[in-house]
Amino acid sequence: MNAPLPHEIVRNLRPVPAQMLDALRQRFGERCSTAQAVREQHGRDESPYPVTPPEVVVFCESTEDVADVVRLADRHEVPVIPFGVGSSLEGHLLAVQGGVSLDLNRMNRVVRVHPEDLTATVQAGVTREQLNREIRDSGLFFPIDPGANATIGGMAATRASGTNAVRYGTMRENVLALTVVTASGEIIRTGTRARKSSAGYDLTRLFVGSEGTLGVMTEITVKLYPQPEAVSAAICQFPSIDAAVRTTIQVIQMGVPIARCELLDTNAVRAVNQHSRLGLQETPMLLMEFHGSSSSVQEQAATVQDIAREFGGTDFEWATTPEDRSRLWAARHKAYFAALQTRPGCRCQAGDACVPISRLAECINESVADCEAAGIPYWVVGHVGDGNFHLSYLLDPADPREATLVEELNVRMVRRAQRLEGTCTGEHGIGLHKMGYLVEETGEGAVALMKTIKRALDPRNIMNPGKVLVI
Amino acid sequence: MNAPLPHEIVRNLRPVPAQMLDALRQRFGERCSTAQAVREQHGRDESPYPVTPPEVVVFCESTEDVADVVRLADRHEVPVIPFGVGSSLEGHLLAVQGGVSLDLNRMNRVVRVHPEDLTATVQAGVTREQLNREIRDSGLFFPIDPGANATIGGMAATRASGTNAVRYGTMRENVLALTVVTASGEIIRTGTRARKSSAGYDLTRLFVGSEGTLGVMTEITVKLYPQPEAVSAAICQFPSIDAAVRTTIQVIQMGVPIARCELLDTNAVRAVNQHSRLGLQETPMLLMEFHGSSSSVQEQAATVQDIAREFGGTDFEWATTPEDRSRLWAARHKAYFAALQTRPGCRCQAGDACVPISRLAECINESVADCEAAGIPYWVVGHVGDGNFHLSYLLDPADPREATLVEELNVRMVRRAQRLEGTCTGEHGIGLHKMGYLVEETGEGAVALMKTIKRALDPRNIMNPGKVLVI
């Protein structure tokens, strides 16, 4: 099975019966909308796929709201698609079988913070920036940072990670407990606030990363971390991607507890320069951050600087004040939009491969060479401490030939990563796009087992159908 | 449903037909045994439950061996119980429905080590000490340390953790990929060697902690860590358990990256003194270890010492040489056997609760007071940095009244932990013993969902039946 191209998306509507629509209107009043603008807003994400709207949008304010919608959907065999801020990249939110979009943005309450236990429980629509604002005075922070100001629910659904994962882990490691509405509309709890447990099957981690296809996560309990006593950020320029990656490998192998280690290739640096007027030297670059006590941060930085010099890295340029650091990270986070602006009218297809770190340079270099040969504009950023990188293509959405060419490049990158014992997605998820790659990666046996789970937990195939697995 | 007492174990044999026994003998020859001594050796663990032998033991040497046994068992609806070193504590290995014990000890090969990627793939029967011996020269180590020299397969099956988890996580965080024989005898792979992935359902973590009830893990790929540049261990004595726990809480809240933080109560210190002639002062004690660069280790220790002093802790007593450190940790690991010797002829029922760290002192203190009032000999050790502790009871196995009394104490401790938002098992698992507690903890809804998964993946209920869930 090939990855569907943007113009190949097939809609296979399972209509919402009038009886169900009436029931939704009666129950939710103005919080139930069939207005075209609202539906279109809920039928898209940041992927190059065309808008594919649901039939109706319900703005939920509580777990009970979600359960009520799901019970109706179950009865009428209508698809249900949870919706956060729409920042997903693989077509997760497209209503390819129609149905109801569950907008969870009004579920934006930080329910409980237990600073003494380093835990917080939030509703699914709370964004990571909101959570960090609300807990700032506690001296704690929530580290997972995928770039976009995504909702915690959306981040849990795609098993997101991002720049801090090399030190703090991904959503897989940082979700302790969940409230979930199952496919039959039942409300269940998984996990507790204890930091570890051997009590039965790990339902928490089954739902984390399931992309809305097994149930709707409505409340999420996450781990928090003490704000480090000292933070420093540094930039280091390198003669080649290879030199930057080899530096990273050695940093990880030496056990330096680096908090962030981001690669930007020359194209990404150029875009960021144009967009944020940073005046960076346009070469491959590592953008790093160190967390710890003052002396530990100094020691980490000195060790990394020694390693970088061995590989031809320039001396560090420091961002010591919080303002300088914010400016640097803001620029990094804007790289996506900055790159989009280098080709007016284009859309971005973000690649997302992750390999064992020793194979990272090989995987990036071959993929970049492939892109250069094809003449498609691209840029690379990477959470390289984890072996994860994004080679992203800028394509003309009006030109199906470009979409085809980009997918050819992408499939070669995915297969390269898989051949190097890596994965087709480090953090963006399978969505609509990578269902075929999942089978190639994990084999028919494991995918058959996933399908068995999906059929058992969602027998009517109403939970975000048409994503992750072909049922 | 109450926890079954040792004398209440009900056997419900599902006989191994002669035809299957013949097929096993033909396929495995001398590696298939029905000798009583061998069967009895495979029908027990470290719990107080009586020996409950399987009908036949097969010594497997490969994944294909396991798959062949499981296919036969599937055809004849016969139970299959994977067996490692028999160190489990909750009755996981008892053949309550008879069947085949799959002895995996001959699957003891470290299949591949990738030092540059910090990963190793091992067969399920490799023990943690063996793995660490074989990788020592690589400069890496595998941190998970539940005390017993368990197999990596057994540790994955119970989602084990132990003394290092506060810094390095549990088996949940440290297993990257698996080879699994499913209930139909199919061999599947989950995960890759990439450190993170968003590719589909997290089958790896569904099998980790499933206690042999969903499939047999035959190969496990784990994360390794660089051996720290410096390691130091210290003992600190406290006037009360409370003072030791409050010290721990503050250490965690300040983000000190402590590698081990073990509580021993006065009873445990006394037992260890008698057994290992350590000459420790007999008060509650924290046994700590710090990993990092030389200066970071010094800084961590100084911070912790300052905190301990605030709570009336004495100055640290250091174990600076590797020999001194080994002697201390060996004594800690022998606490279990040391405690057993304080009451000749007794067996130990190891409690295992885990709570949010702010509730830890309350949970331990009330549980200890309960024990004191009942007059049952007990001792406490705890991986207190995670909020996990073991209040263990020493009971006369010949006296059903003691078993009843101990279970009453235990159920009150479990419910106390659950009331404090914790779990009935931090690391030992559910096994035979805690199936009722699992329902109380997570609710009927979540347990029903676990049962749905169990029935879907193991429709004939042959994988370690009668454990975790009542099917």
**For B254-274, what is each residue's pLDDT tens digit?**
999 999 999 999 999 999 999
- Test B206 with A210 for CB contact under 8 angstroms: no
CATH of the domain at B12: 3.30.43.10
Note the pLDDT tens digit of each residue in B354-400. 999 999 999 999 999 999 999 999 999 999 999 999 999 999 988 88
What is the distance in angstroms between the Cα of A297 and the nearest Cα belonging to chain B? 10
For chain B positions 70-129, those within 8 Å of chain A (CB to CB) are 114-119
DSSP letters along A404-430, please? HHHHHHHHHHHHHHHHTT-BS-SSS--
Q: Is residue A469 in some structural domain?
A: no
The confidence score (pLDDT) of residue A212 equals: 98
Note the pLDDT tens digit of each residue in A258-282. 999 999 999 999 999 998 888 899 9
Q: Are residues B95 and B124 in the same domain?
A: no
How confident is the prediction for chain A on average, in pLDDT?
95
Residue with tokens 């009830």: B213
Rg (CA), chain A: 22
Q: How confident is the model at residue A336 (pLDDT cuts 50, 70, 90)?
A: confident
Q: Is residue A79 in some structural domain?
A: no
Q: Which residues contact A348 (CB under 8 A, 6 or more apart)?
A: A46, A48, A336, A339, A340, A392, A393, A394, A395
The confidence score (pLDDT) of residue A10 equals: 82
Q: Is residue B446 in some structural domain?
A: no
Q: Are residues B237 and B360 in the same domain?
A: yes
pLDDT at position B109 over 70: yes
Q: Is residue A318 in some structural domain?
A: yes
The confidence score (pLDDT) of residue B401 equals: 92
- Test A423 with B194 for CB contact under 8 angstroms: yes
Q: How confident is the model at residue A362 (pLDDT cuts 50, 70, 90)?
A: very high
Q: Are residues B232 and B219 in the same domain?
A: no
CB pairs A-B closer than 8 Å: 287
- Test A423 with B388 for CB contact under 8 angstroms: no
- Test A200 with B160 for CB contact under 8 angstroms: no
Q: Is residue B200 in some structural domain?
A: yes
Q: What does the alpha-carbon distance between residue A214 and residue B262 come to, in Å, rounded to a whole number? A: 39
Q: Are residues B251 and B203 in the same domain?
A: no
- Test B426 with A197 for CB contact under 8 angstroms: yes
Minimal Cβ distance to A195: which of B116, B226, B386:
B386
SS3 B461: coil
CATH of the domain at B333: 3.40.462.10
- Which residues in B lie closer than 8 A to residue A453 (C-beta atoms)? 201, 206, 453, 456-457
What is the distance in angstroms between the Cα of A37 and the nearest Cα belonging to chain B? 31
The confidence score (pLDDT) of residue A335 equals: 87
Q: How confident is the model at residue B445 (pLDDT cuts 50, 70, 90)?
A: very high
The confidence score (pLDDT) of residue B48 equals: 85
Q: Are residues A184 and A125 in the same domain?
A: yes
pLDDT at position A449 over 70: yes
Q: Is residue B444 in some structural domain?
A: no
Helix (H) or strand (E) segment spanning residue B379: strand B378-383
- Which residues in B lie closer than 8 A to residue A118 (C-beta atoms)? 252-253, 357
Interface test with chain A among B196, B210, B297, B463, by most A beta carbons within 10 Å: B196
Minimal Cβ distance to B209: which of A202, A226, A438:
A202
The confidence score (pLDDT) of residue A258 equals: 96
For chain B positions 233-272, those within 8 Å of chain A (CB to CB) are 249, 252-255, 257
CATH of the domain at A172: 3.30.465.10
- Which residues in A lie closer than 8 A to residue B299 (C-beta atoms)? 293, 295-296
Kindly state whether A415 is in contact with chain B, defined as any CB-CB distance less than 8 angstroms: no
SS3 A45: coil
Interface test with chain A among B201, B229, B421, by most A beta carbons within 10 Å: B201
Task: Name the closest residue on chain B to residue A250, using Cα atoms.
Answer: B116
Of A149-163, A235-249, B395-409, which gets the smallest average pLDDT?
B395-409
What is the distance in angstroms between the Cα of B169 and the nearest Cα belonging to chain A? 9
HSE-up (13 A, CA, CB side) for residue B49: 30
Please compute the mean of the pLDDT values over residues A406-417 and round it to a whole number: 96
Q: What does the alpha-carbon distance between residue A115 and residue B412 come to, in Å, rounded to a whole number? A: 27
- Test A425 with B197 for CB contact under 8 angstroms: yes
* ipTM score of complex: 0.97
Between residues B93 and B7, the one the model is more confident about: B93
Please compute the mean of the pLDDT values over residues A65-82 and round it to a whole number: 98
- Test B424 with A453 for CB contact under 8 angstroms: no
* Cβ atoms of A161 and A386 closer than 8 Å: yes
What is the distance in angstroms between the Cα of A469 and the nearest Cα belonging to chain B? 8
What is the distance in angstroms between the Cα of B143 and the nearest Cα belonging to chain A? 14
Q: Are residues B46 and B175 in the same domain?
A: no
Kindly state whether B158 is in contact with chain A, defined as any CB-CB distance less than 8 angstroms: yes
What is the distance in angstroms between the Cα of B278 and the nearest Cα belonging to chain A? 31
- Which residues in B lie closer than 8 A to residue A116 (C-beta atoms)? 249, 253, 356-358
Between residues B72 and A324, the one the model is more confident about: B72
CATH of the domain at A237: 3.30.70.2190
- Test B438 with A203 for CB contact under 8 angstroms: no
- Test A208 with B202 for CB contact under 8 angstroms: yes
pLDDT at position B278 over 90: no
Kindly state whether A372 is in contact with chain B, defined as any CB-CB distance less than 8 angstroms: no
Here the tokens at position B161 are: 């953790």
- Test B200 with A438 for CB contact under 8 angstroms: yes
- Which residues in B lie closer than 8 A to residue A257 (C-beta atoms)? 257
Closest CA to B433 of B91, B163, B131: B91
Q: Are residues B213 and B252 in the same domain?
A: no
Note the pLDDT tens digit of each residue in A99-136. 999 999 999 999 999 999 999 999 999 999 999 999 99
Q: Are residues B27 and B162 in the same domain?
A: no
Please tell me chain B's helix, strand, coil percentages from 3-state DSSP, rounded to the nearest 5.
40, 20, 40
Q: Is residue B453 in some structural domain?
A: no
Of A72-76, A293-297, A396-400, A423-427, which gets the smallest average pLDDT?
A396-400
pLDDT at position B6 over 90: no
State how far the alpha carbon of A265 is from the alpha carbons of A165, A240, A352, A415, in Å. 20, 9, 15, 22
The confidence score (pLDDT) of residue B1 equals: 56
The confidence score (pLDDT) of residue B398 equals: 85
Q: What does the alpha-carbon distance between residue B371 and residue A220 come to, in Å, rounded to a whole number? A: 36
Name the domain boundary from B78, B103, B128.
Answer: B103
Exposure string (b/e) for A225-256, b if CB count within 10 Å is 16 or more? bbebeebbbbbbbbebbbbbbbbbbbbbbebb
Interface test with chain A among B63, B89, B190, B198, by most A beta carbons within 10 Å: B198
- The boundaries of the domain holding residue B87 are 6-103
Q: Are residues B343 and B331 in the same domain?
A: yes
Exposure string (b/e) for B370-407, b if CB count within 10 Å is 16 or more? bbeeeebebbbbbbbbbbbbbbbbbbebeeeebbebbb
Kindly state whether A214 is in contact with chain B, defined as any CB-CB distance less than 8 angstroms: yes
Note the pLDDT tens digit of each residue in A204-261. 999 999 999 999 999 999 999 999 999 999 999 999 999 999 999 999 999 999 999 9
The confidence score (pLDDT) of residue A3 equals: 82
Q: What does the alpha-carbon distance between residue B367 and residue B363 come to, in Å, rounded to a whole number? A: 6
Q: Are residues B265 and B326 in the same domain?
A: yes
The confidence score (pLDDT) of residue B432 equals: 95
Domain count within chain A: 2
What is the distance in angstroms between the Cα of A276 and the nearest Cα belonging to chain B? 31
The confidence score (pLDDT) of residue B27 equals: 98
The confidence score (pLDDT) of residue A227 equals: 95
pLDDT at position A397 over 90: no
For chain B positions 176-205, those within 8 Å of chain A (CB to CB) are 182, 186-190, 192-203, 205
Q: Are residues B282 and B426 in the same domain?
A: yes
Residue with tokens 């068992």: B73
Name the domain boundary from B190, B210, B226.
Answer: B226
Q: How confident is the model at residue B88 (pLDDT cuts 50, 70, 90)?
A: very high
- Which residues in A lie closer than 8 A to residue B457 (C-beta atoms)? 449, 452-453
For chain B positions 269-328, those within 8 Å of chain A (CB to CB) are 292-293, 295-296, 299
Please compute the mean of the pLDDT values over residues B338-363 and round it to a whole number: 93
Note the pLDDT tens digit of each residue in B43-81. 999 988 999 999 999 999 999 999 999 999 999 999 999
Name the domain boundary from A277, A306, A337.
Answer: A337
Helix (H) or strand (E) segment spanning residue A453: helix A435-457
Q: Are residues B118 and B236 in the same domain?
A: no
Q: Specify burial of residue A335 (Cβ count, 10 A radius: 0-12, 13-18, 19+).
A: buried
Q: How confident is the model at residue A1 (pLDDT cuts 50, 70, 90)?
A: low
Interface test with chain B among A90, A190, A201, by most B beta carbons within 10 Å: A201
Please compute the mean of the pLDDT values over residues A67-91 and round it to a whole number: 97
In 10 A of CB A110, how many CB atoms? 16
- Which residues in A lie closer than 8 A to residue B116 (C-beta atoms)? 249, 253, 357-358
Minimal Cβ distance to B426: which of A198, A201, A257:
A198
For chain B positions 420-459, those within 8 Å of chain A (CB to CB) are 421-430, 434, 437-438, 441-443, 445-447, 449-450, 452-457
Q: Is residue A194 in some structural domain?
A: yes
State how far the alpha carbon of B84 is from the alpha carbons of B34, B101, B127, B210, B217, in Å. 18, 10, 9, 15, 11
Note the pLDDT tens digit of each residue in B165-213. 999 999 999 999 999 999 999 999 999 999 999 999 999 999 999 999 9
In 10 A of CB B369, how many CB atoms? 10
